[in-house]
Amino acid sequence: MYRDTWAEIDLTQIRQNVVAIREFLPRSTKLMAVVKANGYGHGDIQTAREAVQAGADYLAVAYMEEALRLRKAGLKLPILILTPIRPELTPLALKHDLMLTVTRASWFREMRAYKPVHTGGQLYVHIKMDTGLGRIGVRTVEEWRDMVPWLNAPDIVVDGVYTHFATASHADSSYLELQVRRFQEMKRWSSKLPVNHYHCAASAAALRFPELCMDMVRIGAAMYGYYPKHLVTGITLKPALSLHSRLMHTKRLNQGEYLGYDNAYQAGQDQWIGTIPIGYADGWSQSMRHAEVLVEGQRARIIGKISMDQITVELPKDVPVGTKVTLIGSSEEQSISIQEIADRIEVVPQEISSSITERVTRIYRNRGGIPNEAIRSEAEAL
């Protein structure tokens, strides 16, 4: 590690979160662990392995490249790609035993140019239904009927039919209930087909409404400790990620002097300031310019504009260069949670963690005795 900015990932906490969720779910419900976007910034390979150890039945990613990374790392669980792929990539999916999300009949028609019916291998698909999120999916019974002949082909296995909720973290559940009713109707459309799994609940819905768990749930945010705590009872999950750096420079800023791009800050009095080597190219967005960090267990306010590589903070006194700074996590008696930061800038916690770029080294803790350096090197080799 050549720069004093790093994220620490507690793999034991991720494993404990998955175990807790697994025990919370109905016994018959399978758990699909979502490790897209580099495991929401926590490391896709590392978190996938923890999920497997904790009892996950499936893995899910957003894109083909993410699935191939997991296969190359030796992960054997079924993997669902949540975003539809181009039809010409179907042979690659078959080669690596990947399950595909499909949303339209025309995809099957185009796919047949690359996989005729009687060529080897069965293609496992999950059909995405749009019950109100509005992004992708089958919306009408006519669209479904157009798809049915393709789903009846001997080399197609309908492993799942699923939907995704738009407002599962909202206290008002009326729109979610509307989506549930729509999905129940769509389940009736598919009743004449052999469907292995129906799933509609991701993290928030699975923890709030166990009756919606059906055959499987998709657990992403909750695996990393992000969930609507105020709406969930009977389970406690904890975040696994903390973010740290060190003071690289300190100085006395005199009253009236400016700091940062566009003279965005002017000192109202003489004060100490510190510069920290993290910026928006690391995922510490300019929207966080009024957030705080922890220095020696005290909160220090970010001042001036956040630049690409550095931020500046107001210090309570002259603090030695090299002093540890905590942006997410605990220092002495103080803590700054990722939820606090998310609330401040009006985003969800997973947007922050998944935005932490590759420039920030991940250090993994408590992984079954495997040295941290070995874990990091293994991932970087891929």
Q: For 315-321, what is the mean pLDDT?
A: 95
pLDDT at 270: 96
pLDDT at 225: 97
Domain 241-380 in this protein, CATH class: mainly beta
Considering 30, 36, 115, 128, which one is annotated as catalytic?
A: 36
pLDDT in tens, 188-236: 999 999 999 999 999 999 999 999 999 999 999 999 999 999 999 999 9
pLDDT band at 120 (very low <50, low <70, confident <90, very high): confident
Percent of residues, the chain, with pLDDT higher than 90: 93
Contacts of 171 (CB under 8 A, 6+ apart): 231
pLDDT band at 375 (very low <50, low <70, confident <90, very high): very low
pLDDT at 118: 83
Q: Locate all alpha helices (DSSP H) within the chain, ordered by sequence.
A: 11-24, 36-40, 44-53, 64-72, 90-95, 105-111, 141-151, 174-189, 203-208, 338-345, 349-355, 372-380
Q: For 297-319, what is the mean pLDDT?
A: 96
pLDDT in tens, 11-21: 999 999 999 99
Average pLDDT for the chain:
94
Q: For 1-29, what is the mean pLDDT?
A: 95
Contact 213, 168 (CB under 8 A): no
Summarize the annotated binding site as residue ranges: 135, 308
Q: How far is it, in rounded angstroms, from Cα 217 to Cα 228? A: 17
Q: Write out the two tokens for 10.
A: 């507690």
Spans of all domains in the chain: 11-224, 241-380
Contact 261, 305 (CB under 8 A): yes
Our CA dihedral for 174, 178, 181, 186, rounded to 10 degrees, sits at: -150
pLDDT band at 366 (very low <50, low <70, confident <90, very high): confident
Closest CA to 237 of 72, 27, 23: 23
Q: How far is it, in rounded angstroms, from Cα 357 to Cα 39? A: 12
Percent of residues, the chain, with pLDDT higher than 70: 96
Whether 261 is catalytic = yes
Summarize the annotated binding site for substrate as residue ranges: 135, 308
Please tell us whether the domain made up of 11-224 is placed in CATH 3.30.70.100: no
Q: For 298-314, what is the mean pLDDT?
A: 97
Considering 258, 261, 317, 324, which one is annotated as catalytic?
A: 261
pLDDT in tens, 49-86: 999 999 999 999 999 999 999 999 999 999 999 999 99
Whether 192 is catalytic = no
Q: For 137-159, what is the mean pLDDT?
A: 97
Q: Is the dihedral of CA 333, 338, 339, 340 positive or negative?
A: positive
pLDDT at 329: 97
